[in-house]
Structure formats: C-alpha cells, structure tokens
Structure 1
Amino acid sequence: MNMFSVRGRRALSLVAAVVLGAGLLAACGSSDDNTAASGSTIAVEGKFGTTQVPKDPKRVVTVGYNDQDFTLALGVVPVQTRAFFDSYNELPWVKAATGGKGVPSMAGDSINLEEIAKAKPDVIFAIYETIDQKTYDQLSKIAPTVIQSSEYKDEETPWDVQLLTTGKALGKEPQAQALVDQVKAKIDEAKAAHPEFAGKTLVVDYGPENGGHYLIGKNDPRRALFDGLGFNAQDTVGDVSEEKLSLLDRDVLFVEGATKSQMAGSPAFTRLDVVRDDRTLYTTFDSPLAGALSYSGPNALLYAIDVVVPQLSNALSGKPVADLATA
C-alpha cells in the first residue's frame, strides 16, 4: 500500500494538496464549455452542478482513490491514475483488465494538476475523494470532471452508484448495469447460503500499527462487501487507543493491515474474546484481498466474495479461520 496515510484520514479523508500555477490552468481553458458547445456530450450530475462529458472519451484520468477500478471494469484503461496501493497493477483483476500492463499513476499522493494537464484528458473522474469547489473548478479547467452527487457524504458513494455514474459518463450504462446485477446476485447468493451473517456486528480495524487502531464505519466503501452481506457496523468510527480496545470485541473482527503474529504483541488485543475465540480474520495490505476490499470495484468485489465469505462463516461457526495474508 502507498503508506502516505493508513489512518489520519476520515476513511480516506486527506485534504488534497493541489499543485499548479494559475497561468497553466488558464491556458488549459474550460474543456467542459468547449465540449458542451459541440452538442456531443453526456450530462452527468455532481454536487457542484452538471458536467458535460464528451461522448466516447479516449483519454481518461482518475484522481479519486479507487476510480480506476471502475473504469477498468468497463473496459477503459486510464492514461493516468491517482496512487493508492503500490501493488495495484499486480492485483489479478487489474492484470486481466490491462493484459498485465497495468495503469500509470501520478507521482506523490496529491492531486497534481500539472501532471493531470500533461496527460491531456478528455474526462477526469474524482468520485472517491473529498473535492471542494475550488479543486473542482481547477480540474474542470483541464477537462470535464465527474464527481459524486450531493446525495451522499464525501467518500461515501455506494459502489453500485459509483459504477453506474462511471458507466453513464463513459457511455457504457448497459455494461455498468450488467456488472451491478452480477455482483448483487453473487452477494445475495452468499447471504442466502449464510443466514448467520444477518444482524451480526463486524468491526473493521484498518491499519493497526504502533498500538493504534482505526475503525471503519458504515457506508465507507472499504467495508462495502461486509455491509452488503448483512453485517452491522460498530458505532465508533476513527482512531481507538489501546485502552479502548473493548470496542473491537463484537461478533467478528477483520484486521486489515497486520498479521496474527504481528498483533500478538499487544496484550490488550489478545485478551479480546473475539480474538481468543478465533473470530478474527487478518490480512496484510500486500494481499489481493486487502486491495479488493479497499478498491471495491465490481471485479474486486467478485474476487473478495470468493475469498472472504467462507472464512467469515468459519469465524461464526467455530471452525478454524484461514490465514488471509496472501489471499
């Protein structure tokens, strides 16, 4: 994982550091205005108004943390992406979508307007990021920019809404809907096969390190699969100290970013009933499963369902839970 911030963001709430002089932005002009005048655009609603996206865009740039996972699922390989997981190009569904070539990412962990402008995009996707009006205006001077709607809080757009929004902007709504249907059918199948999931509380402990723990809340895309399977989220969201680890002690605990042996060094952690009863799942940030849950595109979710559902069932039925560090 790109370790710019495992915790320290609300979900992924880094305030984007935007770099570029006003002169370059002005020189770019407003692609949104130019394409709208041609009449060959698709209108996409966002929280700051309507974006006119050119039909059949050839050069796509994604600056949201997971937006590339959604364009790839629709057969569109971005010319540039926002960095998040360093191993993204090694994830199995990414290799399949790109023929093993992967996707290029911009340097650093910020929205670098200069690099974006050099990529000469036809459209920019910035759905999974906290975009303010100023940043939206700056991006829109480079190319029409698709962001989340005002219907959801920043960085809480559901995966299916994100996919359908992306599909609309790319002129691929039927493909997007087909993928939504496929993933939901598989989730429904898993729920039907495992009624024991319903109503149970699953806590996601994200990136525990140096005695710190970050709990992911409901509607965060990184726990979209768990929410979809019928699990409840804990009430507490954000950083939790070692003294308050009892907040993790619910029906199931999912530790993302550390192994069982790494967590064994914390006496407070190992004393939790959910840990002692083997109702805890562990995976490292290097694993495809961690990438799948963090990106939560349709192909990522399909991958994660196959890997994690049997282990969740084991955790709730008293069976041994497999090591997911490489899953």
Structure 2
Amino acid sequence: MSDNLKTGRLPSWEVLRDFVAVCGEAAAEQGIAIDPTRTDEELWHEMWKAAQAPAAGTSGHEVETQQATLQRARQEVMRRQQAKFDAELDIYRDLVVAFSRDVLIRALRHAAHGGVISAAGVRAPVWETALHYRFVVDSGGHEMTICLESDGAELISRHPWTRDMSIDEFLQELVDAVGSAGADLGLHLNDPTASIEDLSEMLIEVTKLRSQELMGYRGLLVRVIERIDGWYFTEFAVYPADHLWYQIAVDRLDEDDWVGHLEAKGWSGARRAIEFARRLYRVDADRSAEDSAIAERWTDAVIAPGCDQES
C-alpha cells in the first residue's frame, strides 16, 4: 500500500480490500466505534472501480499530471506534519542531549500545556529507592523546583533551581537530598541524571502514543503523574503500558480484588503496581464506607502541598 502511495498509483483491489479489513479489525480490537459503511467491501469495490477510470474528456497525460500534482501536495503536507512532530520530540530529546535549566523548563511547560503531564508536576523515580523527584514549573513558567517525595507523595525536601546555580551544583544538591533522606546508594550509584533520562523517555513515549487520534490514547494518557515499572499513573487512572486499553480508575483502587484479577491475566508487576498506586493516591483497600472520599485524598497526593511554594 505504501509503495502505491509513493508512486501515485492505485493499489490492486486485493490490496485495498485487505487493508480495509485490517483497519476494521484494529478498530474493533481497540473498542473504537466506526461507521459500518467505512468497512463495507462492496462500497469500497465500487469506489475503487470508479477511481480506475479517468474522467471523460481527460487524456492519459493529463490524468498522470493531475495525480503527480496531488501526490506532490500530499507529500508536502505529510512532510510538514512530520517536521512539526519531530520538533516536538526534540523538545524532550534535548533533556538528554542538551540538558540545562531552560531546556527542562521548556519541556515541562510544553508537556503541561498539551495536557500530557499533571499541572502539579510530573514525577520520575529515583533509581533503586522508594523516592521520587517531582519536577514543577511555577504558573508563570519561569521558575523551576524539584521536590523529593516518597511513594505516597509526602514532601521530603524542596529544591528550587535558581538561575545562578550551575547544572553540576544543582544535580549535586539532588544527590545530597537523597542521602539526607537515608537512601544513599554509595559510590557512583547516586545519579539524578538517570531520573531525567527516564523523564525524557516517558515524555517521548507518551507523545508518540498520542500522535494519532485513531490509536485511541489521546483521551487516556493525559495529566500523567509518573511512569514506573511499565505502568502509567495519571490524575485519573492507572494503565499498564503493554495494555493501555485497560483502565484502573483511581476511585476503584479501594476494591480488594485487583491484584488477583490482574495476576490472573498474567500481567507482570501487577501486585507492585497496585500497591504503589494505593500509596500514591493514598487509598486504603480496607477502609470503611464512612471514611473520607478517595477523591479528596488522591487530589491532595497529586498536588503535593508545598512543592511549588516557598518554605
């Protein structure tokens, strides 16, 4: 099919028929409702036959010229879309290849503006610890703060990155914060750049997953708080990265059969993910009906009071 598009030639009926069938099956698997006429074989066959015949009074040369002109226009439109998409990915790639305070602020501002990450900040795990860095940009989009937090979003320490601090100075401050929190890993193992690389990879992955509406992820992967161990944690739900169509709503995390249900599906890391989610959103699976609403507790957890405020 792609070869036909590149050359401006119509595909054979067999190729087109199979392509339409595959698209219909993919939509059904993803739970995307589409107009039945879009996969009607007879209708597609009639359109394909009509496309084979040039308009009356049009010479073969004119038809070829028109097709070539349209193909060039199509290629230019696709090229511009790809260039815009690549430029967006470069914003997040720069976190690794051109890291600086301004690059970090730019990436976070862009992700928050697009609804990719939580406006209250996005987290990245501190390697081989139960700690996490939360990256927060102020409402004006000019001041940068990184907070050290526990699994449950309890604020441990707060670290503004001022303009007069070098990259090395600031990263060392983050290393010292982890050590002060009792999570020092020893020589050559305390590396905050690993968390920044993880953040970059997550933002790139989410952007790619959201790149096409028909993939179905734009309405799911929104306001992401963190990706950890192959699971996404958003303000609203938890998603296994390998099964993004499956949603675990935050307000259902108190149901006590999640672990067994997910492990029965053979999904790796289900127990760890559910236990972590309950800590992050402050959900008690054994709470009584009289307990305060989950929504109130996980909202507090997401916002992490004090992270974006002066001490």
TM-score by length of 2: 0.24
Relative to the length of structure 1, the TM-score reads 0.23
